[in-house]
Each structure stands twice: as C-alpha cells, then as structure tokens.
Amino acid sequence: MKHLFPTEIPDPVAMRNFGIELGRHLKSGDVLALVGDLGAGKTHITQGIAEYFGYLHEVTSPTFALVNEYITEVEKSDLIHFDLYRLEKSEDLLEIGWEDYLERDAILIVEWADRFPELMPNGTKCVFIEHLEQGRKLSYDLV
C-alpha cells in the first residue's frame, strides 16, 4: 500500500477512485485512519473503498451517528465507518464499544482518528490528507 503514496488528487471523483484502489490493499482486521481537515475528502475515500468491496448503497459520513456499518454484497469484508469529530474525550469512544469493534472481523475506517491516537491499535494504516491550492496531497504512515 505504501507504493500508492505520496500522491496528489485533483478532485472528489479522483479521490473516490483512489479509495477504490486503496480498497484493494485492505483486508478484514485492518484499521484505516483518515486524517484531514473538514472537507478534505475522507468520506470520498470511504465511498471508493465501499464501492470496491461491493457495497451498493449510499455511504455518508457518520458525523451524528458516530458509526455506520456497511454489510458488503460480496464476501470480501464488511466495513465499519467511524467519524470521531464530535467526540470530546477518549472515554466517549470506549463507551460506544470501540474495543468490541476492534475484535470484529471487518475493516474499520476511522475519520478524525488523530483526535484519539492513543486508542488506535498498532498497525493502523494512516492516510493524511492535506489541502493544496488545487486538490489534495495524500501521504501514508503506520501507527
């Protein structure tokens, strides 16, 4: 997956397409942290990943629900999509069952993971999204 980075993405369609490519490198048990400001494209990446895994319904950021589960149409993996933007403290994440989610046989995609880095498990794949004058720059690291 590291060979995909760094890269520049010009628009939301390209961001979604990048998510499709990123999905090819994910498997059950992976935690993918998406780190970037508001409007950076975190949800567009998630939409592409969901498309790769055969999820045929709408994918939106779970800003108010905090977590959305996507049961995929093909048996590659289910996706669990978190948005931690509204959480105030790490205890809030623990209260919604974070540790239980980590034990599930699914891919966890976490928007705003940088709010609670202490709760991201070792091996978390981190995609950092930076605003450019035109488009976005993406980089990658492991926690």
pLDDT given for residue 7 in this prediction: 96
Please, are residues 103 and 84 in contact by the beta-carbon 8 Å criterion?
no
Angle at 97 between CA 96 and CA 101, to 5 degrees: 130
Query: What pLDDT, on a 0 to 100 scale, did the predictor assign at position 75?
Result: 60
Q: Helix 42-52 to helix 12-23 angle, to the nearest 10 degrees?
A: 50
* Other CB atoms within 10 A of residue 16 CB: 21
Structural domain spans, the chain: 29-142
Identify the band that residue 134 occupies on the pLDDT scale cut at 50, 70 and 90: very high
Per-residue DSSP letters for 7-74?
EEE-SHHHHHHHHHHHHTT--TT-EEEEE--TTSSHHHHHHHHHHHTT--S-----TTTSEEEE--SS
pLDDT tens, position by position, 50-96: 999 988 888 988 777 899 998 876 666 789 999 999 999 999 999 99
Cα 108 to Cα 69: distance, rounded to the nearest angstrom: 9
Work out the percent of the chain whose per-residue pLDDT is above 90: 80
Sequence length of the chain is 143
pLDDT in tens, 24-44: 999 999 999 999 999 999 999
Structure confidence at residue 116 as a pLDDT band (50, 70, 90): very high
Homologous superfamily of 29-142 = P-loop containing nucleotide triphosphate hydrolases (3.40.50.300)
Exposure of 95 by Cβ count < 10 A (0-12 exposed, 13-18 middle, 19+ buried)? Answer: exposed
- Quote the pTM value: 0.92
Residue 120 has pLDDT above 90, yes or no: yes
